[in-house]
């Protein structure tokens, strides 16, 4: 790795737009760094195949046409993902110099405080919590922040939703996060006893398996014996996929939407130099029910619809299921009225989507 003060290997100018021209020395440095960091990749045979592919291309000077940093990051990412089928494996370029971080170093209290403050400005990725018509709850999650940051917000959200008759959890725009938060939210949807084994994460570097189970005690009421619908899209990724996969394997939810992206291999960032870092998956998820995971394939929905229609579709299904119980009185009338309105809205959304697709 070159010293950030070494002008011989670092281009002096960064053009507008944040890209950076590459010297031959920097290009080789990044490629050799990628080769080295791939030693930690979770699948040994795949790592060797990836490394050999890069070496073969280096020998034929196959990267010489790459003239900018962003282009190199895009090309290497495509090469690595095409060979491995792993959507988590990715080379990143940063126009700003990257901090020096020691491997496996824990963040300082000041860094954790700063991270929490930034996360709080997004409400810890709890974007919307509301009661829809017909007493159907709705929770929109943009990420799974760790419980030490977002635990109180998660508890408040689930307590707000506790008295709804059905629940929609929207992870269509959720790209992942903390498996501990996944376990916390899964726990609210499952019985306290006996504890339920949700997922395992096997870590190649340490040759150890980390287990995730439901939490026996939770503040507030669990959301039990009521239908739950999870909305997915092609953006749904990583820990968000684990949340859906865990609950689908346990037959606790109905997934409505699109097949997810298919990233089941967690890992961490590996710094290559001042402007490049590589995300290397060093672990893999192993579900105790299926004994496999969703890597590459994604998670298939129970009800397949375009993501734009997923929320209204799930709302309609929830109302239909609630009406099957033939509730008496004013709530039954609310359900009938809500069903009519949601059915009308869904038909309009379908027509709008058809018109948009036809105009392309």
- pLDDT tens digits for 3-52? 333 333 333 333 435 778 888 888 999 999 999 999 999 999 999 999 99
Give the pLDDT confidence score for residue 287 in this predicted structure: 97
**Burial degree of 8 (CB within 10 A; 0-12, 13-18, 19+):** exposed
Give the pLDDT confidence score for residue 102 in this predicted structure: 61
pTM: 0.87
Give the pLDDT confidence score for residue 10 in this predicted structure: 33
Q: In what order do the strands lie in the sheet with 283-286?
A: 208-213, 197-203, 283-286
Cβ neighbours for 202, distance < 8 A, ≥ 6 positions apart: 42, 208, 209, 210, 283, 284, 286
Give the pLDDT confidence score for residue 107 in this predicted structure: 79
3-state DSSP: the chain helix, strand, coil percent, rounded to 5? 40, 20, 40
Q: How confident is the model at residue 87 (pLDDT cuts 50, 70, 90)?
A: confident
Give the pLDDT confidence score for residue 7 in this predicted structure: 30
Q: Which long-range contacts (CB under 8 A, 24 or more apart) does 94-98 make?
A: 94/275, 94/276, 94/277, 95/14, 95/18, 95/19, 95/20, 95/275, 97/4, 97/274, 97/275, 98/271, 98/273, 98/274, 98/275, 98/276, 98/277
Q: How confident is the model at residue 360 (pLDDT cuts 50, 70, 90)?
A: low
Least confident of 42-56, 65-79, 326-340: 326-340
Instruction: Indicate whether 197 pLDDT > 80.
Output: yes
Q: Which token pair is 15?
A: 């053009």
Least confident of 27-31, 94-98, 345-349: 94-98
Average pLDDT over residues 140-161: 97
Average pLDDT over residues 241-245: 98
Instruction: Indicate whether 254 pLDDT > 90.
Output: yes
Residue given tokens 């170093």 in the structure block: 105
Average pLDDT over residues 199-222: 94
Average pLDDT over residues 73-77: 95
Better-scored residue on pLDDT, 152 or 10:
152
Q: How confident is the model at residue 264 (pLDDT cuts 50, 70, 90)?
A: very high
Give the pLDDT confidence score for residue 14 in this predicted structure: 38
Q: Per-residue pLDDT tens for 111-149?
A: 889 989 999 999 999 999 999 999 999 999 999 999 999
User: How far apart (Å, rounded) are the C-alpha atoms in residues 218 and 184?
Assistant: 8
Average pLDDT, the chain: 90
Nearest to 92 by CA among 67, 74, 68: 74
Better-scored residue on pLDDT, 6 or 336:
336
Give the pLDDT confidence score for residue 15 in this predicted structure: 40
Domain coordinates of the chain in residue numbers? 24-93, 109-267+281-304, 315-352
Give the pLDDT confidence score for residue 101 in this predicted structure: 66
Better-scored residue on pLDDT, 334 or 359:
334
User: How far apart (Å, rounded) are the C-alpha atoms in residues 243 and 14?
Assistant: 41
The CATH number given to 109-267+281-304 is 3.90.226.10
Cβ neighbours for 343, distance < 8 A, ≥ 6 positions apart: 316
């Amino acid at each position: 790795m070159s010293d950030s003060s070494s002008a011989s290997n670092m281009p002096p100018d960064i053009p507008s737009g944040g890209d950076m021209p590459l010297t031959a020395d920097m290009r080789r440095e990044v490629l050799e760094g990628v080769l080295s960091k791939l030693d930690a990749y979770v699948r040994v045979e795949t790592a060797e195949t990836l490394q050999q592919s890069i070496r073969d291309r280096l020998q034929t000077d196959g990267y010489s046409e790459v003239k900018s940093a962003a282009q190199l990051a895009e090309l290497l990412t495509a090469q690595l993902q095409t060979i491995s089928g792993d959507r988590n494996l990715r080379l990143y370029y940063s126009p700003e110099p990257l901090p020096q971080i020691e491997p496996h170093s824990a963040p300082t209290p000041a860094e954790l405080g700063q991270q929490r403050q930034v996360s709080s400005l997004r409400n810890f990725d709890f974007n919307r919590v509301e009661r829809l018509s017909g007493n159907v709850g709705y929770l929109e999650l943009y990420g799974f922040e760790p419980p030490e940051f977002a635990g109180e917000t998660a508890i408040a959200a689930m307590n707000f939703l506790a008295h709804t008759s059905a629940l929609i959890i929207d992870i269509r725009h959720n790209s992942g996060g903390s498996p501990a938060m996944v376990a916390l939210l899964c726990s609210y949807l499952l019985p306290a006893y006996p504890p339920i084994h949700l997922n395992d994460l096997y870590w190649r570097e340490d040759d150890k398996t980390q287990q995730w189970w439901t939490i026996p005690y939770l503040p507030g009421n669990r959301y039990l014996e009521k239908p739950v619908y999870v909305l997915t899209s092609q953006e749904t990724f990583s820990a968000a996929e684990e949340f859906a996969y865990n609950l689908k394997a346990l037959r606790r939810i109905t997934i409505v939407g699109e097949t997810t992206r298919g990233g089941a291999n967690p890992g961490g960032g590996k710094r290559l130099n001042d402007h490049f870092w590589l995300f290397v998956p060093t672990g893999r998820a192993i579900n105790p029910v299926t004994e496999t995971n969703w890597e590459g394939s994604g998670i298939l929905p129970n009800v397949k619809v375009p993501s734009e229609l997923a929320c209204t579709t799930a709302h309609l299904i929830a109302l239909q299921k609630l009406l099957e119980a033939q509730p008496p009185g004013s709530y039954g009338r609310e359900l009938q009225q809500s069903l009519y309105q949601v059915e009308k809205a869904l038909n309009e959304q379908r027509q709008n989507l058809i018109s948009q697709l036809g105009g392309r």
